[in-house]
Amino acid sequence: MNVSGLQNLHSIMKPINTSPSAKPYEGQKAFSAWLNESIKNVNQAQIQSQIATEKFVRGENIQLHDVMITAQKASVSLQTTVEIRNKVIESYQEIMRMQV
Amino acid sequence: MSIFNGMNVSASALTAQRLRMDVVSANIANAETTRGKLVDGEWQPYQRKMVVMEPNQSSFASHLSKAMGSNEAINGVKVRAIIEDQTPFKLVYQPEHPDANEDGYIQLPNVDPLKEMIDLIGTTRSYEANVTALDAHKNMLLKALEIGR
């Protein structure tokens, strides 16, 4: 489980901010790669939570609080991703609304 | 992963407290057990058990992060050992008991139910405290998500 993919946000912002030579296509590609990566990470957290729940239901040697904590971690990761996604979409819409 | 470090610390404490709870339950359950283990062909009563806890430092990752010069790794707790209480057994006069010695006394475990109940309360409260710490940690993370909203 890793949200450090969020640091890659720099790599998305950079072409827009600093180098005017970056093409929109490249920015789009960087963003989609980053989004894919973090969604994969969140999915991993959800899968871990599911595995823990199944283990518990099957009566394997796992503590109840471990199941709950894994679920909470997955939930926090998901909410973080949703929040970041909202911010990105918001800034996209802000730019789209810009008068030219 | 660093943002869930606090949660992992609390999780280790919860696991440790669960084990402590199991040990206390075993002590209460065996408060009258006269045949704990066989020593030289003679039955010894059950000996009260206690857990010994220590900070969890053995993980490779924590040693590595310390060696890399990062700030002191925050560690959870782990149960190092379950030891036996060495206080003497209680002697009770009960000549009809099959485990009584030639004088008619039986040895009962050195379990004091009062002590066990106190331990039980301590364990429960400790578990609750760690759940509260974990909830606080989670709420902190959720609050951080509200920044700028």
Contact between B131 and A65 using a beta-carbon 8 Å cutoff:
yes
B141 inside domain: yes
ipTM of this complex prediction, to 2 decimal places: 0.72
Report the share of chain A in percent with pLDDT over 90: 41
Closest CA to B91 of B109, B69, B66: B109
Q: Which residues of B touch A66 (CB under 8 A)?
A: 11, 15
Sorted by sequence, the CB contacts under 8 Å of residue A72 that are 6+ apart come out as: B7, B134, B138
Q: Identify the domain containing residue B54 by its residue range.
A: 5-31+49-84+111-147
Which member of B14, B15, B141 has the closest CB to residue A76?
B141
* Average confidence (pLDDT) over A42-63: 92
Q: Which residues of A touch B138 (CB under 8 A)?
A: 72, 76
Could you tell me which residues of chain A have a Cβ less than 8 Å from any Cβ in chain B?
1-4, 63, 65-66, 69, 72-73, 76, 79-80, 83, 87
Task: Read off the pLDDT of residues B40-50 as tens digits, 9 standing for 90 and up.
Answer: 888 899 999 99
How far apart are the C-alpha atoms of B18 and B68, rounded to whole Å?
A: 34
B142 inside domain: yes
Residue A21 burial (CB count, 10 A): 7
Q: Which residues of A touch B11 (CB under 8 A)?
A: 65-66, 69
Q: Count how many domains chain B has.
A: 1
